[in-house]
Chains A and B, each alone.
Chain A
Amino acid sequence: MRRLLLALAILLLIVSTWIGLTQGQIDPLQRNILYVHVPNSVCALLCFVVVLVASVGYLATAGQTWDLVATAAAEAGFVFATILNATGMIFSRAEWNVWWTPSPRLVTSAILWFLYAVYLILQVSLPGAQRRAARLCAVFCIIAFLDVPLVYLSARFIPDIHRPNFSFDSAWQTAALMLGMTGTALLAGGLIWLRTSLLRDSLRLEQELLR
């Protein structure tokens, strides 16, 4: 099931890339990075929501699975946020001739990346005290979530250098983006699933060894 999900995700990403490179090409060339950039930005945020839900779930029930899901989602989210910022910088250099500029969206994307980085450091900061570390991370995530959307959402309503006027003039382009979006979302789901069961297995192994 998990393999099927991941295989489907990769297939969709290949099809999306292929359409993007042939029928759905956007002019000028650098704007084609949007087929990677936009799905990754959406998934970076989705993973954040998953971490939040899992954190609240953990604090409410103290069930270990919640914590494992939160960790897995944060790891996946970190990868997506890294790709989001990296592709964004490449695009920015080609389009605006600067690697980075403090525009609201670029700032909030950078903050998102930092939050994931700190979350992952927190996760390993309490060796041997799984429950305390989990609680600490859950609290951090909740405060971060209360803190960031305030800025993130308000950044949507103001003029910004970010968002050049892409005109999707063919159905191919829309199709490539949508397939990329679905593929990346499935990839995120598959990775979180895979990582959660890996984490659970390693915990079980640890307990077996201790016995």
Chain B
Amino acid sequence: MKDVWLGLRAILIKDIVVELRARQVLPTMVVLGMLIVFLLRMASEPASAGAGAPVMGAAALWIAFLFSGLLAQERSFAAEQQNGCMDGLLLAPLDAGTIYLAKLLANVILLTIFEAVIVPLVLIAFHLHVAGWGRLVAVLLLGNLGISSVGTLFSAAVQLTRTRGALLSIVVLVLLMPMMIPASFALLVLFEALPERVSGSGSLAFVGSFQAAVAYMLALDAVFCVASWLLFGVVVEE
């Protein structure tokens, strides 16, 4: 257990120090996120000026997270390809799952910092009112974990392909499609575009209530994290 912790901390600190010194990913993520938010705000002018603002705001938030998250995840193993760093990591006396957890944690931290910048921006750009800040933070962290867990696993997997960034994006987006249904629902409730409980026959009624949305996200996060942790060894094996 102690070995796991030491290895995890070493890789995590290495990634954070590299990012602090080189500042390769975070500025790009933030600027891409801001561009997405502003582009969506401009493109949806009639809707975002009126009652459609919460809906567009929620969409802008998740889309910015997904695409900026992809940038962070793509870098996280691409950076290891130079100078045979990946071989060094794999040769370290560590379980492959530990390498995954460290990389996952690094990506979660990057995306959390990104969220701290982008969320206020979205709230301002779309004139949104938040019902319950604590719940908003919880929903965003759950989404963050889901996006990062799948992305980190497949970031390692696509490194040897010719079109790694493009491939990573389709893999991650398709696997996160089911998660985006409850994720959008939760944000729509928090931005007061939906009541706490919805019935009917649409795909939103299928989520049902805010609690159910959070439960779905928790369940998907748990599935993604555990499965990725177990399967990571298979992915990086030569």
Contact = CB atoms under 8 A, between A and B. Distances in A.
A30 interface: no
Contacts of A138: 234
Interface string A117-159: 1100110011101001001101110111011101100110011
Interface stretch (B77-85, B92-100, B161-169): B161-169
B177 A114 contact: yes
Interface stretch (A38-46, A80-88, A101-109): A101-109
Contacts, number: 90
Interface stretch (B41-49, B54-62, B198-206): B198-206
Contacts of B1: none
B103 to A, nearest CB: 16
A115 interface: yes
A139 B181 contact: no
B22 interface: no
Contact of A147 (B158, B162, B220): B220
Contacts of B200: 159
The bracket for how many chain B residues form the interface is 35 or more
Interface stretch (B12-20, B127-135, B188-196, B221-229): B221-229
A160 interface: yes
Nearest to B176: A147
Interface string A55-71: 00001000000000000
Contacts of B237: 135
Contacts of B153: 139, 143
Interface of B: 150, 153-154, 157-158, 160-163, 167, 170-171, 174-175, 177-179, 181, 200-203, 205-206, 208, 216, 219-220, 223-224, 227-228, 231, 234-235, 237
6 contacts: A103-B201, A122-B167, A125-B161, A150-B216, A154-B206, A159-B201
Enumerate the 6 nearest inter-chain pairs by beta-carbon distance, A residue then B residue, closest first.
A104-B206, A102-B203, A151-B178, A125-B161, A118-B174, A114-B174
